[in-house]
């Protein structure tokens, strides 16, 4: 049973395959105190870890020092203003102006499966392909514990939800707050999704930070005293900071040590914080950022938070990542494309920018189809009078000056070449220079009397409004139904400012950020319901909304506008810390690269793009002949290895981010019969020996045959080595011949050999 309640000690025990999470109810007031999170336990008698038999003692024994108890007890969900000076998870303003909250246990229930979170993306119990929520509880491999607590002074019920997965080491937590009517309205000023308690003075944290074209850099620090956090108040999860935090033992590395990973299934403002307090209690909190958040909860209403996923690994960061990958592949992404090879696309953005017409796109498609590319994506610039980025967002009608004959003509022509067609839209935006803005200036998020902050010469549509969402959806629907469009890139190129909505009113303006995010989710849900076979790729000025929330709607997300393969090594490492390779939009770029000005071998650009969804973003009619001639080989490479890349276990072997010289990653099939190793030598070295690479994740007892993929022949060379898994992992192999010159790469394919 993954969830057990021990009546004697009022203890709850949650077990995943390899982990245990425990907390208990103490004292007459029903404090909910954390006991343990870590390696799976068979013994459950650890209630002593709540330390209630030690000074300052629980209030029923020592009310004189209640404040001291409050300030050190390991609360499962800490309230506000009643003596716990560490950061809280929950605060309000009630009708009398009081902000304090307390969370006191009332009851529990255990539910089969995992209830949906209304209007929000969330993991689901059933792994049946593409079935979001188990109607057949028999198939469910997840159970949910709901703890109902109360804050009677505020007339609130707080439901702490824990969903425990049986096939992966992950627990999903979220919170619901219900106004039971003591007050007609309570303002929720902070409702985090989860809080976790640890104890110790030797933890590190990992956060991820970045900027446009440099997303998700890994930043590891020793956890000192005080609060350490990342957050976004930009209205999206952002390029700058990421809704993820890892807490790890300071000796943990890729393959060794205790690691706790926390990932927030949300695409808007967030906070992810670790706080080390006076007694070396460590509190990790995560949820919607309280900045500019104020939600009115009327009597009888309920507010539901997004969920946080926690993963524990006893074997370093690599195992944590693989847990997240399995969870997100099997329990979050719903798209029918999830387990499918995605069509190899060619996107015209860096090929033409805004300078294209029907003829140009068809010429790209003609060449691309001859080479084996399967999908043409027409990016920004096809609508209104958009010849640069300063107009027309919101005017979703085809610019027939560019697309002579219209959209359907173009799509039909592309289809005739045997290619699919995809389109770009930025549905959340409105240009001041657009018919839409001229007709509905109040549809933009802005504050009357202030000059709105422009970004990329555009404003954000007020998606908190149903009328704006309905209009936006109708425009998208019209375009998508006007031709055989099989792919949509949903872009979002600016962050929110000027928080003002013409309809929300003074009382509810603090709901804008979250309502905006809910509005985006509603639109995406309508889209995938109406167009279930559409391949949706989310994007936000590159990777500013690469988060688990978006994966609920789209199986892939554009990872970064920087496609330089060297820069991508770091970006992919950070992204794959949490997200499966199957989700990472990756293209072979033009050279010199438009972001870095760097020239890299075409071959290497392909190896790096292979670790994501794989596609091209260049003018295939104009690139050097030799590069173009390599495309059919790269396409064979993709078809040969993508099943493995998409569904296998990912291992980081060497990190260019750390060693500044080379990178290596490996994908191993679930049954360990096959593996693909990619080695990229970034900087050439003079007089250099072969490099020793110790492989990972293989079966020590299996014998493997090793072959190199040869780009010239588009096939694998003869076997160059045959070794048992133990030798490959513990002794390693010498990788030769890629050290003269910069940016060289190699693919090594391992296959199990059955010896008669």
Active-site residue set: 491, 561
Q: Render the burial of 398-418: b for 16+ CB within 10 Å, e for the rest.
A: bbeebbeeebebbbebbbebe
Smallest distance, ligand DGJ to C-beta of residue 476, A = 16
Instruction: Compute the distance between CA of residue 255 and CA of residue 672 in angstroms, rounded to an integer.
Output: 18
Residues 491-510 that bind ligand DGJ (CB under 6 A): 491, 493
CB of 546 to ligand DGJ, least distance (A): 11
Considering CB under 6 A, how many residues would be counted as binding ligand DGJ?
11
- Alpha-carbon distance of 357 to 392, in angstroms, equals 17
Q: x/- site string to ligand DGJ, residues 547 to 566, per CB under 6 A?
A: -----------x--x-----
3-state class (DSSP) for residue 260: strand
Q: How far is the CB of 212 from ligand DGJ (least distance, A)?
A: 9
* Residue 445 beta carbon to ligand DGJ: minimum distance, rounded to whole angstroms: 20
Comparing CB distances to ligand DGJ, the nearer of 168 and 344 is 344
- Could you give the dihedral angle defined by the CA atoms of residues 226, 231, 233 and 238, in that order, rounded to the nearest 10 degrees? 160
Q: Is 542 in the site for ligand DGJ (CB under 6 A)?
A: yes
In terms of CB distance, is 257 or 541 closer to ligand DGJ? 541
Residue with Cβ nearer ligand DGJ (379 or 486): 379
Q: Measured from the CB atom, is 334 or 386 closer to ligand DGJ? A: 386
Q: What are phi and psi of 342, to 5 degrees?
A: -80, 145
d(CA 528, CA 554): 9
Of residues 615 and 745, the one with the C-beta less far from ligand DGJ: 615
The residue from 311, 539, 644, 653 that contacts ligand DGJ (CB under 6 A) is 539
Closest Cα partner for 444 from 472, 480, 478? 472
Q: Nearest to residue 129, comparing CAs of 340, 310, 309?
A: 340
Nearest Cα residue to 587 out of 547, 542, 624: 542
Asked if residue 567 binds ligand DGJ (CB under 6 A), the reply is: no
Contact present, 281 and 69 (Cβ < 8 Å): no
How buried is residue 756: exposed, middle or buried, by Cβ count under 10 Å (0-12/13-18/19+)?
Answer: exposed
**One residue of 197, 380, 547, 716 binding ligand DGJ per CB under 6 A:** 380
Q: Considering only 59-67, 408-416, 534-542, 718-726, which stretch makes contact with ligand DGJ by CB under 6 A?
A: 534-542
- Taking the complex as a whole, the smallest distance from the CB of residue 593 to ligand DGJ amounts, in Å, to 14
Task: Indicate the residue among 270 and 490 with the shorter CB distance to ligand DGJ.
Answer: 490
| Burial class of residue 447 in the structure, from the number of CB atoms within 10 Å of its CB (0-12 exposed, 13-18 middle, 19+ buried) | middle
Q: Which is closer to ligand DGJ, CB of 164 or CB of 480?
A: 480
Alpha carbons 465 and 191: distance in angstroms, whole number: 23
- Chain positions 308 to 367 lying near ligand DGJ, rule: CB under 6 A, are 349
For ligand DGJ, the binding residue among 379, 428, 537, 603 (CB under 6 A) is 379
**Residues 449-468: x where in contact with ligand DGJ by CB under 6 A, - otherwise, as a string:** --------------------
Q: What are phi and psi of 127, to 5 degrees?
A: -90, -5
Residue closest to ligand DGJ, measured at CB? 380
Query: Three-state DSSP class for 673?
Result: coil
Please identify, among the stretches 54-62, 536-544, 680-688, 706-714, the one whose residues bind ligand DGJ according to the rule CB under 6 A. Answer: 536-544
DSSP 203-252: EEEEEEE--TTS--EEEEEE--SEEEEEEE-SSSS-SSB-SEEEEEETT-
Our finding on whether 422 is near ligand DGJ (CB under 6 A) is no
Shortest reach from residue 458's CB to ligand DGJ, in Å? 10
Strands 420-425 and 429-430: unpaired
* Residue 730: DSSP 8-state: I
**How near is the Cβ of 398 to ligand DGJ at its closest, in Å?**
17
Give the footprint of ligand DGJ on residues 27-66 (CB under 6 A).
none
CA distance 55 to 46: 18
Among 12, 31, 424, 602, binds ligand DGJ (CB under 6 A): 424
Candidates 216-224, 275-283, 535-543, 600-608; binding stretch for ligand DGJ (CB under 6 A):
535-543
**Sign, CA torsion 5/140/285/292:** negative
Instruction: Kindly tell me which of 273 and 493 has the beta carbon lying closer to ligand DGJ.
Output: 493
Least Å distance, CB 353 to ligand DGJ, is 8
Pick between residue 150 and residue 537 the one whose CB is nearest to ligand DGJ.
Answer: 537
- The residues, ordered by sequence, that sit 6+ positions from 470 with a Cβ below 8 Å of its Cβ are none
- Residues of this chain that interact with ligand DGJ (CB under 6 A) are 349, 379-380, 424, 491, 493, 539, 541-542, 558, 561
């Amino acid at each position: 049973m993954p969830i057990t309640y021990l009546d004697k000690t009022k203890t709850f025990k949650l077990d995943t395959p390899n982990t245990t999470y425990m907390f208990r109810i103490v004292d007459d007031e029903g404090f909910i105190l954390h006991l343990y999170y870590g390696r799976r336990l068979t013994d459950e008698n650890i209630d002593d870890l709540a330390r209630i038999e030690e000074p300052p003692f629980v209030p029923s024994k020592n009310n004189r020092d209640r404040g001291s108890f409050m300030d050190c007890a390991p609360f499962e969900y800490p309230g506000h203003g009643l003596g716990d000076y560490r950061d809280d998870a929950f605060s309000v303003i009630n009708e009398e102006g009081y902000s304090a909250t307390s969370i006191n246990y009332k009851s529990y229930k255990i539910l089969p499966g995992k209830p949906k979170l209304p209007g929000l993306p969330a993991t689901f119990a059933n792994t049946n392909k593409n079935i979001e929520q188990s109607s057949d509880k028999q198939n469910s491999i997840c159970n949910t514990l709901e703890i109902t607590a109360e804050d009677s002074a505020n007339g609130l019920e707080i439901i702490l939800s824990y969903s425990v997965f049986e096939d992966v080491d992950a627990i999903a937590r979220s919170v619901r707050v219900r106004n039971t009517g003591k007050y007609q309205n309570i303002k929720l000023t902070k409702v985090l999704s989860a809080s976790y308690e640890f104890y110790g003075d030797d933890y590190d944290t990992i956060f991820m930070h970045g900027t446009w074209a440099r997303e998700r850099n890994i930043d590891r620090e020793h956890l000192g005293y005080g609060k350490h956090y990342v957050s976004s108040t930009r209205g999206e999860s952002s390029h700058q900071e990421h809704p993820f935090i890892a807490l790890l033992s300071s000796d943990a590395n890729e393959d060794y040590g205790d690691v706790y990973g926390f990932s927030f299934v949300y695409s808007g403002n967030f906070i992810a914080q670790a706080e080390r307090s006076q007694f070396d209690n460590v509190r990790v909190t995560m949820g919607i950022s309280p900045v500019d958040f104020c939600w009115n909860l009327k009597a009888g209403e309920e507010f539901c938070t997004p969920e946080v996923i926690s993963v524990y690994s006893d074997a370093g960061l690599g195992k944590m990542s693989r847990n997240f990958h399995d969870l997100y592949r099997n329990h979050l992404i719903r798209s029918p494309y999830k387990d499918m090879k995605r069509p190899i696309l060619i996107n015209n953005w860096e090929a033409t920018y805004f300078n294209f017409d029907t003829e140009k796109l068809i010429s790209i498609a003609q060449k691309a189809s001859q080479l084996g590319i399967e999908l043409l994506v027409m990016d920004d610039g096809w609508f209104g009078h958009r010849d640069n980025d300063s107009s027309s967002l919101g005017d979703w009608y085809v610019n027939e000056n560019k697309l002579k004959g219209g959209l359907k003509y173009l799509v039909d022509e592309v289809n005739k070449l045997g290619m699919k067609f995809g389109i770009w839209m930025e549905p959340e935006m409105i240009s001041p220079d657009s018919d839409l803005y001229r007709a509905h200036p109040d549809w933009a998020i802005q504050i009357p009397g202030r000059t709105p902050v422009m970004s990329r010469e555009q404003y954000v549509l007020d998606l908190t409004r149903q009328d704006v969402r309905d209009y936006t959806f109708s425009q998208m629907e019209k375009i998508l139904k006007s031709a055989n469009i099989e792919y949509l890139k949903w872009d979002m190129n600016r962050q929110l400012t000027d928080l003002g909505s013409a309809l929300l009113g003074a009382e509810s303006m603090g709901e804008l950020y979250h309502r905006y995010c809910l509005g985006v989710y509603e639109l995406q849900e309508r889209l995938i319901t109406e167009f279930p076979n559409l391949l949706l790729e989310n994007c936000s000025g590159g990777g500013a909304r690469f988060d688990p929330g978006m994966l609920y709607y789209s199986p892939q997300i554009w990872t970064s506008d920087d496609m330089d393969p060297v820069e991508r090594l770091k970006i992919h490492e950070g992204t794959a810390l949490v997200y499966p390779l199957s989700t990472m939009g990756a293209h072979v770029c033009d050279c010199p690269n438009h972001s870095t000005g760097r020239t890299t071998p075409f071959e290497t650009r392909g190896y790096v793009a292979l670790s994501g969804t794989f596609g091209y973003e260049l003018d295939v009619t104009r690139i050097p002949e030799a590069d173009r001639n390599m495309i059919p080989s790269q396409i064979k490479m993709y078809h040969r290895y993508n099943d493995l890349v998409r569904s296998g276990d990912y291992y980081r072997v060497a990190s260019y981010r750390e060693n500044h010289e080379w990178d290596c990653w490996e994908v191993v099939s679930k049954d360990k019969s096959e593996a693909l190793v990619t080695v990229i030598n970034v900087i050439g070295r003079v007089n250099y020996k072969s490099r020793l690479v110790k492989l990972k994740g293989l079966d020590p007892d299996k014998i493997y045959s090793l072959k190199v993929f040869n780009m010239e022949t588009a096939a694998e060379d003869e076997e160059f080595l045959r070794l048992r898994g133990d030798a490959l992992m513990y002794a390693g192999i010498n990788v030769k011949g890629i050290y003269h010159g910069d940016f060289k790469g190699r693919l090594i394919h391992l296959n199990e050999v059955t010896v008669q």
